[in-house]
Structure 1
């Protein structure tokens, strides 16, 4: 069980607004600086079961020092687009639509878990728009992996930790902990279980192994070395397939974006810096 004390302090969460993507629907978007047209743009793609900001709040401010940072709720998650079906290919098209809405020509996609799959599809479907990729807790396929494990191992323990009583954790400010826990639970509850199940099914069918080696934009891969949902061996294999990809290993599990944020960021920050230094924006 992950100790609740390791959850990144929430502090002041950046606020956003609902936007309308023509012909697609509405979603909740946070933009670090909508006047920063001269800075590189990173579009952050979140994990299964999460809202955009729940995945990325621990590093949002730090990343914004490197460039313009945009995060939005993927369809069927949080306040994301409601549609008749869930497909990762549609999620990738949504990323390009967000860039259109923001009048951003080229951008770096930074994806965590489910977001890393979407990032790969952004390259496949909109490669002229993609300047670089940062893939975290990523894989090329889930052949031979039980779909239930993808969901249950990924964030089941995290949700269980969020439900622990604050009094069970010595040395932690119970009031602050309760506030952080409440906010995180509210973010989780914005995504319905049926949506999680549909997204899990789509993830189970994903397979980029035939074309991932063709990715030709500057890429970094952050390997979560204690990951039970996506085995580190799969993550390392993915990194080896992409020519010139930089690889960064972090000693943490699949929920590290929130539960072990400091350790995760020790790999994420140089991974992003590497891509930004090589990307043609």
Structure 2
């Protein structure tokens, strides 16, 4: 039964992922972070180009969330992905806290010798990106926040209960389905859907409850007005998970933040990537232009993005 389910899901994955073959993803390696643990990291693109950290959503991996956009970004950016704690080949720890994830990002930057970078996050990754700025301000030159908000729905008691119910169902599913061997995640496959399934099931769904608690502990509403770096907010206008109104809170609450729109739902970074890639790359470019303007005119203070 499990193999039949996987094949069925694979066909569904294949239908929507076909335009972006998995062979285009960069290779990576496990990086040991002193005092923290091992984490899988990819580092692609020109080494002397501006660095962009791509921070993934919950229940995905660095590559599964971002692989469609990486080739386009690599044309002019150094792009780093990493698996967050308990996702894919991320660090295994006793707790799941987005603050720890943010500190892991800074630790990866240390190991790669990257001083400053743009932090770009999708959904959960958007919360992590905001925390990287808050906890390591001297490292972050800009933010790109996609399909995310200043808090997650797990802050709502009713929605939290729903998340736990979903978690119990997913935990049962995870136990009966075949789990991929982590060392085989990069093995060649005949179809993108099989690669995507390996990536997806590399995250133990038995930790759904912990992920919900970690997301529920994040809330930037009290301090997002202090964010003082160029910021782009990519709003998925058909989103039913992080509704557009909540995404707009970032546009309204972060000084000089600029809004970009993508005609897609919450998984638009992959399922409908053809609509996501152009505005996302434009959003990254806008942050880079503003960062360069600030560096060129240090007496003018922090540069802002163009008017909304």
TM-score (norm 2): 0.78
Does the CA contact (< 8 Å) of 2:164 and 2:208 recur in 1? no
- Of 28, 37, 42 in structure 1, the residue corresponding to residue 52 of structure 2 is 42
- Structure 1 unaligned blocks of 5 or more: 160-176
Residue 245 of structure 1 corresponds to 257
Residue 20 of structure 2 corresponds to 9
Asked whether 1:146 is paired with 2:156, we answer no
Q: Give the secondary-structure state (helix, strand or coil) at the position aligned to 2:286.
A: helix
Residue 65 of structure 2 corresponds to 55
Question: How far did 1:272 drift?
Answer: 0.5
Question: How far did 1:220 drift?
Answer: 0.2
Question: How far did 1:151 drift?
Answer: 10
The alpha-carbon distance between structure 1 residues 260 and 149, as it changes in their structure 2 partners (threshold 3 A), is farther
Residue 166 of structure 1 corresponds to none
Provide the rounded CA distance (Å) in 2 between the counterparts of 1:91 and 1:151: 25
The alpha-carbon distance between structure 1 residues 118 and 218, as it changes in their structure 2 partners (threshold 3 A), is same
Residue 196 of structure 1 corresponds to 208
Question: How far did 1:150 drift?
Answer: 10
Residue 169 of structure 1 corresponds to none
Does the CA contact (< 8 Å) of 1:45 and 1:52 recur in 2? yes
Q: Give the secondary-structure state (helix, strand or coil) at the position aligned to 1:76.
A: coil
- Of 263, 266, 273 in structure 2, the residue corresponding to residue 254 of structure 1 is 266
Residue 132 of structure 2 corresponds to 122
Asked whether 1:79 is paired with 2:92, we answer no
Asked whether 1:28 is paired with 2:40, we answer yes
Provide the rounded CA distance (Å) in 2 between the counterparts of 1:103 and 1:178: 36
Provide the rounded CA distance (Å) in 2 between the counterparts of 1:223 and 1:149: 23
Question: How far did 1:205 drift?
Answer: 2.5
- Of 99, 110, 113 in structure 2, the residue corresponding to residue 100 of structure 1 is 110
Question: How far did 1:217 drift?
Answer: 0.3
Provide the rounded CA distance (Å) in 1 between the counterparts of 2:221 and 2:273: 29
TM-score (norm 1): 0.86
Asked whether 1:185 is paired with 2:197, we answer yes
Which structure has the bigger radius of gyration?
A: 2
The alpha-carbon distance between structure 1 residues 149 and 252, as it changes in their structure 2 partners (threshold 3 A), is farther
Question: How far did 1:75 drift?
Answer: 1.1
Question: How far did 1:10 drift?
Answer: 2.2
- Structure 2 unaligned blocks of 5 or more: 1-11, 174-188, 296-308
Residue 231 of structure 2 corresponds to 219
- Bigger relative contact order, structure 1 or 2, given CA contacts below 8 A and separation 6+? 1
Question: How many pairs align?
Answer: 259
Question: How far did 1:266 drift?
Answer: 2.3
Q: Give the secondary-structure state (helix, strand or coil) at the position aligned to 1:220.
A: strand
Does the CA contact (< 8 Å) of 2:164 and 2:209 recur in 1? no
Residue 284 of structure 2 corresponds to 272
Q: Which moved more, 1:196-205 or 1:222-231?
A: 196-205
Question: How far did 1:138 drift?
Answer: 1.0
CA RMSD of aligned residues (A): 2.5
